[in-house]
Amino acid sequence: MSKEITSRATDYAQWYNDLVLKGGLADYSAVRGCMIIKPYGFALWEKMRDSLDEMFKETGHQNAYFPLFIPKSFFSREAAHVEGFAKECAVVTHYRLKNDPNGNGIIVDPEAKLDEELIVRPTSETIIWNTYKTWIQSYRDLPLLINQWANVVRWEMRTRLFLRTTEFLWQEGHTAHATSEEAIAETLTMLDVYADFAENFMAVPVIRGVKSPSERFAGAIDTYCIEALMQDGKALQAGTSHFLGQNFAKAFDVKFSDKENKLDYVWATSWGVSTRLVGALVMAHSDDDGLILPPKIAPLQVVIIPIYKGTEQKEMLDSKGKELALQLKNAGIRVKFDNNDNNRPGWKFAEYELKGVPVRIAMGLRDLENQTVEVARRDTKEKMAMPLEGIEARVTRLLKEIQEQMFQKAFDYREKHITPANTWEEFERLLDEKGGFISAHWDGTAESEEAIKEKTKATIRCIPLNNPAEDGTCIFSGKPSKQRVLFARAY
Amino acid sequence: MSKEITSRATDYAQWYNDLVLKGGLADYSAVRGCMIIKPYGFALWEKMRDSLDEMFKETGHQNAYFPLFIPKSFFSREAAHVEGFAKECAVVTHYRLKNDPNGNGIIVDPEAKLDEELIVRPTSETIIWNTYKTWIQSYRDLPLLINQWANVVRWEMRTRLFLRTTEFLWQEGHTAHATSEEAIAETLTMLDVYADFAENFMAVPVIRGVKSPSERFAGAIDTYCIEALMQDGKALQAGTSHFLGQNFAKAFDVKFSDKENKLDYVWATSWGVSTRLVGALVMAHSDDDGLILPPKIAPLQVVIIPIYKGTEQKEMLDSKGKELALQLKNAGIRVKFDNNDNNRPGWKFAEYELKGVPVRIAMGLRDLENQTVEVARRDTKEKMAMPLEGIEARVTRLLKEIQEQMFQKAFDYREKHITPANTWEEFERLLDEKGGFISAHWDGTAESEEAIKEKTKATIRCIPLNNPAEDGTCIFSGKPSKQRVLFARAY
């Protein structure tokens, strides 16, 4: 191996960092808590972004762009929102630097102090609803279905590459509707879009559910979520979709006149996923040799590596390799022919394994004589000889198969890791020994939820949609409960 | 007309604002100098961004993402850069808000003061070169060809929608090379990419040139630019590409070992275009009835409007209209069938004219009987009857023709507005009476350049590439000059 990767068994957290750093996804920056997304990591995010963007547009949404800065006073307008959000933020207080009169470089010009501080957006409900006030007058202006791709900043004390960073990239949808029903339907539609994306593009199975009141977004009536399971048995919230009721419309006085000319406040939703998904993708599939990327969003789906000795052999393989690459490219496959002479095949094998390229094609002279190539799957490491004739169709099929099997593997793992617990002892033991989701009764109070969290670090990940009713007693308090909910330790 | 547009003759600046606001491109925000890019404006920017992004990738560049914040001290590292850039910036000084103990909403927590202030990036050379230091060791790491799509902030005192805003969206390319020649070649390649994009996508002819020393980017050895001409005779800098020499490599100590294992500083370029291009597009082509968008980047290329009376007629046209829309869509045309019953055809005609949709197809019952539709061009307002048979090919051809003729019209206007001036009187008169580019001799000194600017508000837009040598005397000082340069009043 060219680059040493810590094994999952040795140190799961370090394994993750090794993959992100050595796999070329991201790097630390000079700014506390902010990361640099490197070209390979950004190409992965681009694929995710473009797929999601298409799904948003297919469901009738349009993109727009709102300011990075939000006046401080806006946060005070929605009472719950300010409690949940406005605290750990980057605050702009000045708008000019100047040369230090004492010659010590540049300093903040004390005369350029803002009358009202500006907050670097941690989320944009406030500035957007302040705008919607001028855009919405009548039912004819509704629904308003807008999405924004943007950077946001939340001043996190403990950060981890992709999973929790001070600045991150995301999309935030903000929609406005004439009725409560329509807004709830939108919230659930977008939850479905997220689940569809996670499962069919990222090959990461997710549970759709609703958050307990204490885990709700600040200002929401209901927060829906998709929850994924990582290989270490910890859960990861992969996306949220909020039904905001009329809270923001009331805070920013956004009313519309309906068909009967009656004035009412507008109903709202917001929903978002972020670069955190890249972290989820890494942790859901990869192994001790590196990343394993699902074909649908892998920046590179196939790499072709020639095996040769000497210039003459190289030239023979070069023309054949380029031809094959073109053939695959024309079939819509993202392919690279790596004939770089600076690195040996063994180094390349390890490098593309580390980078998680789904399919590797090795090509030597003997293969050419036999009109075959050696094809290796990254996910299972299986190798097979594949005839060159009709190879586009075979590789296309193989990529589809890999995509499906990666999902199935993650799905089987997830299913094995949803375990019912009926006593407190069992609950604690399962959390420590098995991990995953624990399905247990909860009395519905914030007090029990908080106590469980303090004792075990496990949180209620969600109440699954269409959860069956079942009488029981709370795992913690012994009080009566009407349904089980899913607990887990989480990222 | 549904929305009143000020005519160009009455008030050019107001005409521009009317188009941007009433055409649905952008809106003012609650934050001083920051704009909201509305869905239609953002769709236009997306088309521009995607076309450019493809050109960047075709020329070997990759996207990445660097932090929004830059430590204040970084700006002091490159002496010229700090002078030119670090002054009018948004400065983050605190990272937390808290509830006012006196109950007056939220305040900045004085205890959460940053040790070192963070600057919201006005451009990213410093943070990127600080990173390149760890990415570049050997000639094998070069060239490094990276681009970033991002928001940036420059605290402008006087702002105008798209043309000059405190926050704007842009791309910034930052490349690193082993030799000066290679870096200069890259600078010129990207200038060509910009010119290609401006002329062949935006239909805006541009002059490629190099800036005079006083107009150079802060920290550059040479700044190349493309300069466009607006309908009011003012020039607009539409993109810049900088050869940075080894300035940033020296400031951030970025060295590489060459093939002979000798250490040298890396050579750099940077280049960028921004949402300002949307403003340029609006001002280059539009007329008193609204926007005129070139087909290649128009979010919507064709709108189909049914002309009917009563439900029965509507239904007959509905099925035919949907069929035609699908037919055009399948031919790769961005088309909308607007059968919205709330608005009358006349209103729709005006609305799509205002929005600059290149082709309008009107469809009534008599047309259907004749198997034709009425096709109107937005740019020339010509109308023609077009047979439905083979209409995809005809419309495709028409869109191509519109694209070319829009460029030709702008090109002819631009050519008529490059005027030589040989005396100071002529120079001043031309600026006041005709506008456009004035080709005049300049003695090459910053003093004359500054004096000309003060007296006339005209600046040297560029020294065109491949400028012919010509002996003459400076229009202002009378001192000897070896070539003419292009002056203009500019945005």
Q: What CATH number should be reported for the domain holding residue B257?
A: 3.30.930.10
Instruction: Check CB contact under 8 Å for B97 and A89.
Output: yes
**pLDDT at residue B77 in the model:** 84
Angle B332-B334-B335 (CA atoms, 0-180°, nearest 5)?
A: 115
Residues B339 and B463 in one domain: no
Instruction: Check CB contact under 8 Å for A96 and B39.
Output: no
Instruction: Check CB contact under 8 Å for A127 and B29.
Output: yes
- Determine which helix (DSSP H) or strand (DSSP E) holds B276, and give its type and residue range: helix B276-285
**pLDDT at residue A205 in the model:** 98
Residue A184: inside a domain: yes
pLDDT score of A413 more than 60: yes
Residues B328 and B455 in one domain: no
Domain edge (last residue) among B238, B256, B285? B285
Q: How far is CA A136 from CA A130, A140, A177, B259, B487, in A?
A: 11, 9, 10, 64, 46
Q: Write out pLDDT tens, residues A19-60.
A: 999 999 999 999 999 999 999 999 999 999 999 999 999 999
Report percent pLDDT > 70 for chain A. Answer: 99
| Chain A, nearest residue to B41 by Cα | A64
Distance CA A405, CA A412 (A): 10
* CB-count exposure of residue B312 (10 Å: 0-12, 13-18, 19+): exposed
| Chain B, nearest residue to A117 by Cα | B108
Domain with residue A343: its CATH number is: 3.40.50.800
Q: In sequence order, which residues have a C-beta less than 8 Å from that of residue A305 and are 6 or more positions away?
A: A338, A345, A348, A349, A352, A360, A361, A362, A363
Residues B186 and B329 in one domain: no
Report percent pLDDT > 70 for chain B. Answer: 99
Q: Write out pLDDT tens, residues B187-216.
A: 999 999 999 999 999 999 999 999 999 999
Domain with residue A435: its CATH number is: 3.30.110.30
Among residues A487, A469, A473, which one has the least CA distance to residue A443? A473
**pLDDT at residue A90 in the model:** 97
- Of the pLDDT bands very low, low, confident and very high (cuts 50, 70, 90), residue A332 is very high
- Name chain B contacts of A96, Cβ cutoff 8 Å: 87-89, 91, 155
Q: Write out pLDDT tens, residues A295-311.
A: 999 999 999 999 999 89
Question: Rounded to the nearest 5°, which phi and psi values hold at B41?
Answer: -65, -35
The beta-carbon neighbor of A92 closest among B70, B90, B151 is: B90
The beta-carbon neighbor of A131 closest among B29, B68, B134 is: B29
Domain edge (last residue) among A285, A319, A335? A285
Give the amino acid at A9: A
Q: Find tokens 């050519």 and name the residue.
A: B415
Residue B291: inside a domain: no
| Chain A, nearest residue to B63 by Cα | A39
Instruction: Check CB contact under 8 Å for B96 and A88.
Output: yes
Query: Does this complex have an ipTM over 0.90?
Result: yes
What integer is the mean pLDDT of B31-50?
Answer: 97
Residue B439: inside a domain: yes
Residues A422 and A452 in one domain: yes
What integer is the mean pLDDT of A393-402?
Answer: 98
Instruction: Check CB contact under 8 Å for A96 and B155.
Output: yes
Instruction: Check CB contact under 8 Å for B67 and A29.
Output: yes
Domain edge (last residue) among A285, A315, A349? A285
Q: How far is B247 from chain A (nearest CA, A)?
A: 18
Residues B251 and B121 in one domain: yes
pLDDT score of A1 more than 50: no
Residues A449 and A353 in one domain: no
Distance CA B259, CA B139 (A): 7
Residue B406: inside a domain: no
Q: How many structural domains is chain B composed of?
A: 3
Mutate to test the interface with B, among A38, A91, A336 (most CBs of B within 10 A): A91
Residues A110 and A192 in one domain: yes
Are A251 and A78 in contact by the 8 Å Cβ rule? The answer is: yes
Residues B388 and B460 in one domain: no
Which runs of consecutive H residues, i.e. helices, occur in B286-417?
A: 310-330, 345-354, 365-370, 391-416
Mutate to test the interface with B, among A58, A99, A106, A157 (most CBs of B within 10 A): A106
Distance CA B222, CA A344 (A): 41
Containing structural domain, residue B465: 418-488
Residues B354 and B442 in one domain: no
Residues A311 and A376 in one domain: yes
Residue A204: inside a domain: yes
**pLDDT at residue B105 in the model:** 78
pLDDT score of B350 more than 90: yes
Among residues B146, B213, B134, B238, which one has the least CA distance to residue B186? B146
Residue A290: inside a domain: no
Give the SS3 label for residue B452.
helix
- Name chain A contacts of B95, Cβ cutoff 8 Å: 88-91, 155
Give the amino acid at B102: N
How many residue pairs bridge chain A and chain B with CB atoms within 8 Å of each other? 186
Distance CA B83, CA A403 (A): 53
- Of the pLDDT bands very low, low, confident and very high (cuts 50, 70, 90), residue A86 is low
Are A335 and A283 in contact by the 8 Å Cβ rule? The answer is: no
Distance CA B2, CA B350 (A): 7
pLDDT score of B103 more than 80: no
Residues B440 and B329 in one domain: no
Mutate to test the interface with A, among B2, B27, B36 (most CBs of A within 10 A): B36
- Name chain B contacts of A93, Cβ cutoff 8 Å: 91-94, 108
Instruction: Check CB contact under 8 Å for A68 and B153.
Output: yes
Of A326-340, B93-107, B428-442, which range is least confident? B93-107
What average pLDDT does the structure give for chain A?
96
Q: Are strands B437-441 and A235-245 parallel, antiparallel or unpaired?
A: unpaired
Give the amino acid at A476: F
Residue B410: inside a domain: no
**pLDDT at residue B86 in the model:** 60
Q: How far is CA B131 from CA A29, A41, A372, in A?
A: 7, 16, 44
This prediction has a pTM of: 0.96
The beta-carbon neighbor of A66 closest among B36, B108, B342 is: B36
Instruction: Check CB contact under 8 Å for A97 and B118.
Output: no
| Chain A, nearest residue to B157 by Cα | A95
The beta-carbon neighbor of A91 closest among B65, B73, B108 is: B108
**pLDDT at residue B75 in the model:** 86
- Of the pLDDT bands very low, low, confident and very high (cuts 50, 70, 90), residue A3 is confident
Give the amino acid at A292: I
The beta-carbon neighbor of B62 closest among A43, A74, A108 is: A43
Instruction: Check CB contact under 8 Å for A67 and B117.
Output: no
Instruction: Check CB contact under 8 Å for A106 and B74.
Output: no
Residue A171: inside a domain: yes
Report percent pLDDT > 90 for chain B. Answer: 92
pLDDT score of B279 more than 70: yes
Mutate to test the interface with A, among B40, B97, B125, B275 (most CBs of A within 10 A): B97
Are B122 and B243 in contact by the 8 Å Cβ rule? The answer is: no
**pLDDT at residue A253 in the model:** 97
**pLDDT at residue A104 in the model:** 74
Residues B252 and B192 in one domain: yes
Mutate to test the interface with B, among A48, A63, A69 (most CBs of B within 10 A): A69
pLDDT score of B399 more than 80: yes
- Name chain A contacts of B68, Cβ cutoff 8 Å: 34, 120, 151, 153, 167
| Chain A, nearest residue to B126 by Cα | A30
pLDDT score of A75 more than 90: no
